[in-house]
Amino acid sequence: MHEAAIVESALELILAKAEEHHLTKIRRITAKVGELSGALPEAMQFVFLNASQGTIAEGSDFIIEQVEATASCGSCDITFPIRFYHPVCPSCGGLDNQVLTGYELYIDTMEGD
Amino acid sequence: MSSIKVVTNILKVNDELTRENKKLMNQKGLYVINLMSSPGSGKTSILEKVIARLKNEVKIAVIEGDLYTTKDAERIEAHGVQVVQINTEGGCHLDGQMIRNALSHLNLEETNLLIIENVGNLICPASFELGEDLIITVLSTTEGNDKPQKYPRMFEKSGIVILNKVDLVPYTNFNKDEFHKDIQEINPKANIIETSCVTGQGIDELCSWLKEKISISNPV
Ligand SMILES: [Zn+2]
């Protein structure tokens, strides 16, 4: 389960940021996780619950916003959602399209005192 | 209460370590392969064939990632090339820190080609870049041709997709046409090589491909 490694990495980052901003309690964290990132939000929540225990992030709301996967076709000049990981252009059927979103895996914001 | 805009990549720590590792690999003129597959696909067998074929022409070193055992590393070591074993102790992938430790145990002056055999797993290793020049993913015919659709990330990032155990196709329900079509859709740039470690099919093709790549990255 690589969500464990991802969440531990995220927590390290959050705690460092909190220290930088002199927070003593973290209340809320939002993360953006793309559909194509390979990380499952439920698993991330589960790991966070355990990994944050005993830290200033314990008990905080860990909110995961999923980002839809989209791509754009250079020939048709359109943006479309990717279905089942296949960036097939719905207009021309072309395959060589640029993936725009879906690989996000980052901490967006945090709130605390 | 204060609100802080963070916007930092979660894999930042790994990315930074990987960037440093990559710098070292470049300085030493290494061509680096990240070899991935699910368990039992035969990637160690393929690696053995490739090493036997190339070791007199190319100086090869191997980093062996394994959950607990040293079996694969022992098989590779028997071919007389440098091997470092990383036991992840349950971890499902290799990361930048592990590679950094492994690099410090290798004589990089005596290496042109570094092959990292990742932990057998089609999901997690695809999320952690290791500074590789090429990702090779091995799928075996006994696993079924639905795997690329189920775990596309790894196939999407691969320069070469190896279909191993093609000698067993008649005994499985593996659909080669669907497999080729799926790879074409997920990653039109991937080179597909069909191999069999029993008949030796595809090993020459794979070795020529690698030799060409290594000579491009290390001009004499
Ligand atoms: Zn189009």
**Better-predicted residue by pLDDT, B143 or B121:** B143
Q: Can you give the pLDDT at residue B201?
A: 96
pLDDT at B139 over 80: yes
Q: HSE (CB half, 13 Å, CA atoms) of B4?
A: 24
Confidence check: pLDDT of B216 > 80: no
Q: What is the pLDDT of residue B217?
A: 66
What stretch of H or E contains B204? helix B203-217
Q: What is the pLDDT of residues B6-27, one digit of tens each?
A: 888 888 878 888 999 999 999 9
Instruction: Provide residues of B within 8 Å CB-CB of chain A.
Output: 1-14, 91-93, 95, 123-124, 126-128, 149, 152-153, 156, 184-186, 188
**Residue A84: what pLDDT?**
64
Average pLDDT score over chain A: 90
Q: Check CB contact under 8 Å for A111 and B1.
A: yes
**B19 is in which domain, residue-wise?**
5-217
Kindly tell me the sign of the dihedral angle through the C-alpha atoms of A11, A14, A16, A22.
Answer: negative
pLDDT band of residue A28 (cuts 50, 70, 90) is very high
- For the cut 70, the answer to whether the pLDDT of residue B161 exceeds it is yes
pLDDT digits (tens, 9 = 90+) for B92-101: 778 888 899 9
Question: How confident is the model at residue A85, as a pLDDT?
Answer: 64
Tell me which chain A residue has its CA closest to the CA of residue B14.
A9
Q: Which of A34, A105, A9 lies closest to B17, judged by CA?
A: A9
What ipTM did this prediction achieve?
0.76
Q: Is the pLDDT of residue B125 over 90?
A: no
Three-class secondary structure of residue A102 per DSSP: coil
| Closest CB to A112 among B1, B92, B124 | B1
Q: Which residues of A touch B7 (CB under 8 A)?
A: 106-109
Interface residue A109 vs chain B (CB under 8 A): yes
Between these two residues, B84 and B67, which has the higher pLDDT value?
A: B84
Q: How many domains does chain B have?
A: 1
Q: How many residues does chain B have?
A: 220
Per-residue pLDDT reduced to its tens digit, B99-110: 999 999 999 999
**Closest chain A C-alpha to B62 CA, distance in angstroms:** 24
Catalogue the E-assigned strands of B17-175: 31-37, 60-66, 82-87, 113-117, 134-140, 160-164
d(CA A78, ligand 1 centre) in Å: 7
Write the residue in A88, A96, A111 that is nearest to B3 by C-beta: A111
B121 half-sphere exposure, CB direction, 13 A CA radius: 20
Q: What is the mean pLDDT of residues B162-186?
A: 95
Residue A12 burial by Cβ neighbours in a 10 Å radius (0-12, 13-18, 19+): middle
The two beta strands, B134-140 and B31-37, are parallel
Structure tokens at B116: 């990292």
Q: Which domains does chain A have, with CATH numbers?
A: 2-112 (3.30.2320.80)
Q: Does A64 touch chain B (CB under 8 A)?
A: no
H helical segments located in chain A: 3-20, 41-51
> Is A76 annotated as contributing to ligand binding?
yes
A88-109 pLDDT, tens digit each: 888 998 877 888 998 889 999 9
CA B183 to centroid of ligand 1, rounded, Å = 19
Q: What is the CATH number of the domain that holds B35?
A: 3.40.50.300
